[in-house]
Structure 1
Amino acid sequence: METPTDKKNGLDWIAFSVSGGLLVLFIIASLFNDKLVGQWINDSFSFAVKYFGAYWELLLLATFVIGLVLACTRYGRVRLGNMDKPENGNYRWIAMIMCTLLASGGVFWAAAGPMYHYLTTPPLFSGVEKGSMGAAFPAMAQSFLHWGFLAWAILGTLTTIVLMYAHYHKGYPLKPRTLLYPIFGSSIYKKSFIGSLADIVSIVSVAAGTIGPIGFLGLQVGYGLHAIFGIPDTFVTQSLVIILLAVIASISAATGVDRGIQWLSRMNVGLAVILMVAMLILGPTLFIIDLFLGSGGFYIENFLSMSLYRVDQSWLGSWTIFFWGWFIGYGPMMAIFISRISRGRTIRELIIAVSIIAAIVSNFWFTVVGGSGIFYEMQNPGSVSSALQENGMPAAVNAIMSQIPLGIALSIGFLLCTIIFVATTADSMSYTVAVTLSGKDEPNRFYRVFWALMFGFVAVSLLAIGEGSIGALQNFIVVTAVPVSLLLLPSLWDAPKIAMKMAKEQNIVEKK
């Protein structure tokens, strides 16, 4: 099927130049005055949290609820992608979905997040004694909120419906600006300033959100190699880890979604399952199961109050609103990726897989890793928290593994899983950036490899300037999430309209 952009198969040089130029400018500015750059980003970050925090909470909650309503009604039977049956099997499909958001969460926050909330109870539950058994349930529930239903829903449910309709049924390219197609029509593709802005901020957001974890990966693996094998934790070691990751991501991106990306995702999920089962068997099994069930009930019971909490602005900026900005920044590109791998799926399958199954699996992973940390901390106060407070998140994982039988083997497995997890994010996001710039489902291989290597190059450059530069770029995604969140808003009403229209076309509901 010929798309409206097939006559212009070249690169979108405006989006490429501006988005790439902003990344290079960020490196140069950080090199000359990283403190000033960090201050500017922190001020912008505070502005975003103060004036957009409430809106983001409502946006994520509404996206999740509207998606569930569509899935539970007859409109959930609508089949997407102009295909009669799925092109990817269930395991392959869900594995590719899981290896995007969970990459960042599983690597950096599964051990540290629950422990932080256990040591300092979230303000909504401030009456609970911190460090007690009673504090374990709200600690895990808070992590469930940050990496659960709402987080996954904003990454690829309603927006995916809009993109798949516009692309596979109407013939328009898979670009972030396509989310505005129901409002502006085909004019959004014709030298549109709003369209170009939508593409640019989406590229910059996902670049910031991907480069940050890559940089932190270098720090975490560098620490792990030193703790396990005694290899010096230096800039050279950290850079070599990042270069290895960039090479893996480049090879995966070069071979495409149907080969490299899906193969790496399946292998990664398989390794993660092996690690999870091993930790569950060798670790505090009954405690983990009880904590998962109890925290799940606590989470559901307090779901609305946690989702719409607005009292402690400082805490919100450090936790919930930070995560919401991060996931919103990923939103358009994740929707593009999920659209590409979800042809032939129904709306019901899409909503359940992304909003429910992926969230439950993520929460169980967090309970196995973070719950083990809470157990050992309760048994021996300071055994995990001291390492976390003294050496940061990378140390928390090693502190937990050291108390489990076969801990060294598990630590090595976790390091390997960490590298592959982040590589799957880098390859899928480099693919979606290339799709955005070319407007084609299968962009030029050079574009895909270029962006995977670009992510690695920027991460190494910022690491050379200082660890603070990596953190500043990570926070920058929250700043760029402001315009991106406006881009995601129309899907709240566009997706239901499209579902109703397609239900008539597919004879699911009666035509009037």
Structure 2
Amino acid sequence: MKNPQKKFLDFHYPVFIPSAIIVLLFVILAIVYGEPLSDFFLEVRNQLYDKIGWFFILTVNLLLIAAIFIAFSKFGKIKLGGRSATPDFSNFSWYSMLFSAGMGIGLIFYSVAEPIQHFATPPIPVEGDVNAAKQAFKFTFLHYGLHPWAVYGMIALAFAFFTFNRKLPLTVRSLFAPLLGRKIHGVIGHIVDTLAVIACLFGLATTLGFGAQQVGSGFNFLFGLENNVTTQIIFISITTILATLSIVSGLDKGVKVLSELNVRIAIGFMLLMLILGPTVFLLDSFVENIGLYAQNLLELGTYTEVYAESKWQNNWTIFYWAWWIAWSPFVGIFIARISKGRTIREFLMGVVILPSLLSFLWFTIFGSSAIYLELNELADISTAVSADISTALFEMLKHYPLTSIMSFVGIVLVISFFVTSSDSGSLVVDFITTGGKLDAPVATRIFWALVEGLLAIALLVGGGLSTLQTAVMIAALPFAIILLVMTYSLFIGLKRERVKYLRHRVARNLRVQSSQMERFMEDFDNDDEDEDEEDDDDIEIISK
């Protein structure tokens, strides 16, 4: 009989304890030394932006190239979990969960804010509003298109492959098995997993901080409630409790149900905006925006602002790539956990292509609805957004029908994505800190859910947006290096899997050929017996 206390405290001490100490220590420092810590973080962030921005751009591009190569190579035929594996979730449930975990709050927060800000202040100076609008969507699509989803896709593929095909624990250390062998179970493995936990928690805290700011703006817009740190802390506390309840229900119930609900609300919200907004203009924009993105993908993806004197990229592209990288261990493990039974080609196409197209459609509908107002001088949204970026969505909605209803749905959607991100993130951190157990104790899940909420609160108290961005940068840098090494390790693992598959196929063909030869010999012997009988009959006739 199992010891209930052991089950309650069943976690991997070399990873759980250092991760908890580092994060809780940061929480205490952020709360006690709020403003001085914020100033220090701001200086650190600027230095990181200026010195290593190119490294983040290079990393993300390499991961996209690797994803395209693997998807369309012979490796694409490999099935995650083995040849007989079948998917655990339907396509709709699968897409719902990966989309909710992958983007979620970012889609709501930046759906209007990013296009309208790039339109008002073009990243690369251009003449005329039309060219400014085109450039706005080129960079917005860059930040939410193939590049970030390739980051998610590659790390998720590595997790799924090494967990389901190589039967290793669902932890970051397992990704380096081809390079380190048994050493992954030692100190190096503990360090890698701890870095992943810290990156994941800071990435989650940043997302939750953005969500809190936007919900505060929404309540201020609808009900006149003041949007301050206190309001945001109350919101984070309430949603953390909701996320904890979802976590207790587990992956198949709480997380799955919430993810599907998110996607249904989001699709309804998007389609209603398409109808209420300038429909034909939005559809035309969607087609043209995709064309602009496709035509300029290589140039956009490698743009480093080296010949420009502005610092625009630091607060946008570099921050985004750091955010996605810090967020990637959480999204990667979560997507891997729900993707057993799919071929690598199906997996990468599903994780990279479809979410990108949905993101493009989302940003076009909401972003173009705002830019349409600006182009036709019907509203001045950019001024309000410059003052407070979290108000962007609500500033746009008030110029279209059903303002209150649409704004309320927007708030509900942010809360729903907030809870989904928190509960699925807690599950992932739990996987890592319990040594890769897929059915870890509920107590540790609850602990990490509470820590996530506490960290988000501490970052808001300790400086707000600048502190959130700096924390992400610091967490993402070491993990970007891990991602590059992981990609090399994955290629080695896939090559070995391919050789294993070919050997199995050759052995199977030999067995089939052997079986066919046996049947042929049996048929040959039967034919000989028939011929002998015919010869005996002929001899008998001749004798007569």
Name the counterpart of 1:404. 400
> Does the CA contact (< 8 Å) of 1:111 and 1:373 recur in 2?
yes
Secondary structure of residue in 1 paired with 2:474? helix
Secondary structure of residue in 1 paired with 2:98? helix
Deviation of 1:211 (Å): 1.4
Instruction: Tell me how far apart the structure 2 counterparts of residues 475 and 281 of structure 1 sit (CA, whole Å).
Output: 39
Q: TM-score, normalised by structure 2?
A: 0.86
Instruction: Tell me how far apart the structure 2 counterparts of residues 241 and 35 of structure 1 sit (CA, whole Å).
Output: 22
Name the counterpart of 1:31. 31
- Which of 297, 303, 306 is residue 309 of structure 1 equivalent to? 303
Q: Which shows bigger deviation, 236-245 or 401-410?
A: 236-245
Deviation of 1:278 (Å): 0.1
Name the counterpart of 2:148. 151
- Which of 132, 137, 143 is residue 134 of structure 2 equivalent to? 137
> Does the CA contact (< 8 Å) of 1:434 and 1:443 recur in 2?
yes
- Which of 366, 370, 394 is residue 369 of structure 1 equivalent to? 366
Instruction: Tell me how far apart the structure 1 counterparts of residues 35 and 144 of structure 2 sit (CA, whole Å).
Output: 31
Name the counterpart of 1:422. 418
Name the counterpart of 1:498. 493
Amino acid at match of 2:474: V
User: Taking every aligned residue pair, what percent have the same amino acid on both sides?
Assistant: 29
Name the counterpart of 1:3. none
> Does the CA contact (< 8 Å) of 2:41 and 2:466 recur in 1?
no
Deviation of 1:37 (Å): 1.8
TM alignment of 1:133-212, pairs within 5 A = 133-155=130-152, 157-190=153-186, 192=187, 194-212=188-206
Instruction: Tell me how far apart the structure 1 counterparts of residues 230 and 59 of structure 2 sit (CA, whole Å).
Output: 42
2:448 is the alignment partner of 1:451: yes
Instruction: Tell me how far apart the structure 2 counterparts of residues 387 and 508 of structure 1 sit (CA, whole Å).
Output: 64
> Does the CA contact (< 8 Å) of 2:429 and 2:448 recur in 1?
yes
TM alignment of 1:338-353, pairs within 5 A = 338-353=335-350
Deviation of 1:340 (Å): 0.5
Q: Which shows bigger deviation, 26-35 or 481-490?
A: 26-35
Instruction: Tell me how far apart the structure 1 counterparts of residues 402 and 503 of structure 2 sit (CA, whole Å).
Output: 55
Name the counterpart of 1:15. 15
Q: How many residues align?
A: 497
Instruction: Tell me how far apart the structure 1 counterparts of residues 382 and 503 of structure 2 sit (CA, whole Å).
Output: 55
> Does the CA contact (< 8 Å) of 2:105 and 2:211 recur in 1?
no
2:110 is the alignment partner of 1:109: yes
> Does the CA contact (< 8 Å) of 1:162 and 1:498 recur in 2?
no
Deviation of 1:46 (Å): 3.1
TM alignment of 1:258-277, pairs within 5 A = 258-277=252-271
Secondary structure of residue in 2 paired with 1:421? helix
Secondary structure of residue in 2 paired with 1:267? helix
Instruction: Tell me how far apart the structure 1 counterparts of residues 94 and 503 of structure 2 sit (CA, whole Å).
Output: 25
> Does the CA contact (< 8 Å) of 1:159 and 1:488 recur in 2?
yes
Secondary structure of residue in 2 paired with 1:319? helix
Deviation of 1:304 (Å): 0.9
Secondary structure of residue in 2 paired with 1:110? helix
Instruction: Tell me how far apart the structure 2 counterparts of residues 410 and 76 of structure 1 sit (CA, whole Å).
Output: 42
Amino acid at match of 1:104: I
Instruction: Tell me how far apart the structure 2 counterparts of residues 60 and 34 of structure 1 sit (CA, whole Å).
Output: 33
In structure 2, relative to structure 1, the CA distance for the partners of 1:498 and 1:161 (3 Å cut) is farther
2:320 is the alignment partner of 1:323: yes
Secondary structure of residue in 1 paired with 2:438? coil
- RMSD between superposed Cα atoms in Å: 2.3
Instruction: Tell me how far apart the structure 1 counterparts of residues 452 and 136 of structure 2 sit (CA, whole Å).
Output: 33
Q: Which shows bigger deviation, 433-442 or 223-232?
A: 223-232
Amino acid at match of 1:430: S
In structure 2, relative to structure 1, the CA distance for the partners of 1:105 and 1:204 (3 Å cut) is same
Q: TM-score, normalised by structure 1?
A: 0.91
Q: How far does the alpha carbon of each residue in 1:174-200 deviate from its partner, in whole angstroms, 9 at most, with x for none?
A: 11222222210121113x1x2222112
In structure 2, relative to structure 1, the CA distance for the partners of 1:462 and 1:488 (3 Å cut) is closer
Instruction: Tell me how far apart the structure 2 counterparts of residues 426 and 296 of structure 1 sit (CA, whole Å).
Output: 32
- Which of 327, 332, 336 is residue 335 of structure 1 equivalent to? 332
Q: Which shows bigger deviation, 255-264 or 29-38?
A: 29-38
Instruction: Tell me how far apart the structure 1 counterparts of residues 161 and 119 of structure 2 sit (CA, whole Å).
Output: 44
2:228 is the alignment partner of 1:238: no
Amino acid at match of 1:106: L
2:470 is the alignment partner of 1:475: yes
Instruction: Tell me how far apart the structure 1 counterparts of residues 281 and 182 of structure 2 sit (CA, whole Å).
Output: 56
Instruction: Tell me how far apart the structure 2 counterparts of residues 428 and 500 of structure 1 sit (CA, whole Å).
Output: 32
Q: How far does the alpha carbon of each residue in 1:373-410 deviate from its partner, in whole angstroms, 9 at most, with x for none?
A: 111122226531122122x1221111111111112111
Gaps of 5+ in 1: 1-5
In structure 2, relative to structure 1, the CA distance for the partners of 1:202 and 1:52 (3 Å cut) is same
Q: Which shows bigger deviation, 424-433 or 21-30?
A: 21-30
Instruction: Tell me how far apart the structure 2 counterparts of residues 280 and 166 of structure 1 sit (CA, whole Å).
Output: 42
> Does the CA contact (< 8 Å) of 1:211 and 1:458 recur in 2?
yes
Instruction: Tell me how far apart the structure 1 counterparts of residues 21 and 242 of structure 2 sit (CA, whole Å).
Output: 25
Amino acid at match of 1:148: G
Higher-Rg structure is: 2
In structure 2, relative to structure 1, the CA distance for the partners of 1:232 and 1:117 (3 Å cut) is closer
> Does the CA contact (< 8 Å) of 1:145 and 1:306 recur in 2?
yes
In structure 2, relative to structure 1, the CA distance for the partners of 1:263 and 1:364 (3 Å cut) is same
Secondary structure of residue in 1 paired with 2:311? helix
Instruction: Tell me how far apart the structure 2 counterparts of residues 103 and 289 of structure 1 sit (CA, whole Å).
Output: 23
Name the counterpart of 2:54. 54
